[in-house]
Amino acid sequence: MTFKDLKIIEPILKALDEKGYQNPTAIQREAIPHVLTGRDLLGLAQTGTGKTAAFAIPILQLLNEDKRPSQKRQIRSLILTPTRELAIQIHECFRQYGSYMGLRSCVIFGGVKQKAQTDELKQGVDILIATPGRLLDLMSQGFISLDSITHFVLDEADRMLDMGFIHDIKRILPKLPVERQTLFFSATMPQAITALSQRILRHPVRVETTPVSSTVDTISQYLYYVEKAEKKNLLVNLLRKEKDQAVLVFSKTKHGADKLARVLNKAGIGSEAIHGNKSQNARQNALANFKSGKTRVLIATDIAARGIDIHSLEVVINYDLPDVAETYVHRIGRTGRAGNKGVALSFCSQEEYRLLNDIQKLTGKKLNTMAVPA
Ligand code: AMP
């Protein structure tokens, strides 16, 4: 399934394409169609699943379609999130996915002077991303009215509770119009969160990302901290050590996959690359060669790897970490099937620390760090 199948409008598709997002993640596939019809949503999802886009994309689309005549821009969407970092990230998502639309978004959080934030608010915004304390503060000073809100998102509700924001939220809720669409996200559902969700949602659709950690228990996962320029050497070294194993290597880009295949073949390690630019025939041949053991190493992009079903796969290498943590689980799930033991090695450069963090959060596991062999 593609974003187009989800009936996303052209300006957003263009922005997604530029970001290199080819397909929606599970939570996006499930949530977006419901949000577009105006339903309330209860989303059980952790960071790393693509949940931000699961609400940002349909909200942008709905705001774009809402052609109420208005003299002045008024805040129509409010996204409440517990931390400044999350607020900034969410704002960035709205800006990027909406870069071909005329909507304005603004982010406010505490710990900094309010002047820059109030100046922006005065110019009029459509979408406001806020942490609870600063929101209440600016509301009480008259800089913000929530009267025109049509979409309200409560992000990371369980963390809000942990951080003691529940009273702030209870003060904000009565200021919101009763007629509105509410999207509620939480990674876990303790009693207090269930109660809160029941209070503020109306006939919500519940979407849940499948729990992922159980699938990885038979797989030993290791991590190499390695600079980008050194990844090639590390790969060659590791493959030379493990002489007979069938190895599936994941590369982020098609071009990167081709380049790697050339490097490995030059080093005497039989390998082939499969990706979307290769013909169906070429892909099938490469796959058959890999399955029969003729080529030891297959280098694949995520999309090309989707159809691969290899039973005796022993090792998966994440040469590049995936952008979405969920993809990590899918990738390594190709080894260690049916109770067999599997090994997953991941290369992480400095630029990828954030991605690693997302993966560890999603799986709830800290990867074992290995020393890079000299
Ligand atoms: P989130 O769970 O919203 O924090 O998103 C995790 C990461 O996945 C972020 O770096 C997003 O930019 C990225 N992401 C979200 N949706 C997609 C997608 N459909 N394809 C590729 N990357 C995505």
Average pLDDT value for residue range 18-43: 93
Mean pLDDT of the chain: 90
Count Cβ atoms below 10 Å from residue 258 Cβ, excluding itself.
Answer: 17
CA distances from 247 to 13, 206, 209 (A): 35, 38, 28
CA angle (250 as vertex; 247, 253 as ends), nearest 5: 145
pLDDT greater at residue 311 or residue 144: 144
Q: For atom 1 of ligand 1, which residue has the closest CA?
A: 50
Ligand 1 contact, 90 CB (< 6 A): no
* Pocket perturbation via mutation, ligand 1, pick of 52, 92, 359 by most ligand atoms within 8 A of CB: 52
Residue 75, burial from CB neighbour count under 10 angstroms (0-12, 13-18, 19+)? buried
φ, ψ for residue 92, nearest 5 deg: -60, -40
Question: Three-state DSSP class for 59?
Answer: helix
- Per-residue confidence (pLDDT) for residue 71, from 0 to 100: 65
Query: Is the predicted pLDDT of residue 125 greater than 60, yes or no?
Result: yes
pLDDT band at 306 (very low <50, low <70, confident <90, very high): low
* Pocket perturbation via mutation, ligand 1, pick of 324, 328, 358, 359 by most ligand atoms within 8 A of CB: 324
Ligand 1 contact, 256 CB (< 6 A): no
Amino acid at 151: H
Q: Is there a contact between 146 and 169 (Cβ–Cβ < 8 Å)?
A: no
Give the integer Cα–Cα distance in Å for 104 and 95: 8
Query: Is the predicted pLDDT of residue 69 greater than 70, yes or no?
Result: no
Amino acid at 84: R
Question: Three-state DSSP class for 63?
Answer: helix
- Per-residue confidence (pLDDT) for residue 58, from 0 to 100: 98
Half-sphere exposure of 246 (CA within 13 A, CB side): 18
Point out which residues pair with 106 in neighbouring strands.
128
Give the integer Cα–Cα distance in Å for 364 and 362: 6
Point out which residues pair with 127 in neighbouring strands.
77, 105
- Give the model confidence (pLDDT) of 79-116 as tens digits: 999 999 899 999 999 999 999 999 999 999 999 999 99
- Give the model confidence (pLDDT) of 308-339 as tens digits: 666 668 899 999 999 988 889 888 877 766 55
Ligand 1 contact, 53 CB (< 6 A): yes
Token pair belonging to 159: 């963390």
- Give the model confidence (pLDDT) of 210-237 as tens digits: 655 545 577 889 999 999 999 999 999 9
Token pair belonging to 116: 């820059």
First to last CA, the chain: 43
Count Cβ atoms below 10 Å from residue 374 Cβ, excluding itself.
Answer: 4
Query: Is the predicted pLDDT of residue 78 greater than 70, yes or no?
Result: yes
Give the integer Cα–Cα distance in Å for 168 and 165: 5
Q: For atom 8 of ligand 1, which residue has the closest CA?
A: 324
Element (H, E) at 368: strand 368-370
Token pair belonging to 281: 């025939």
Query: Is the predicted pLDDT of residue 37 greater than 50, yes or no?
Result: yes
Give the integer Cα–Cα distance in Å for 177 and 150: 8
Q: What region, left, alpha or beta, does residue 255 occupy, with left being phi > 0 and alpha being psi -120 to 50 degrees?
A: alpha
Token pair belonging to 216: 């990885």
Hey, what domains does the chain have and what are their CATH numbers? 3-210 (3.40.50.300), 213-370 (3.40.50.300)
Token pair belonging to 127: 């979408």
Question: Three-state DSSP class for 135?
Answer: helix
Ligand 1 contact, 81 CB (< 6 A): no
Give the integer Cα–Cα distance in Å for 6 and 263: 39
The lowest-confidence range among 12-21, 22-31, 292-301, 330-339 is 330-339
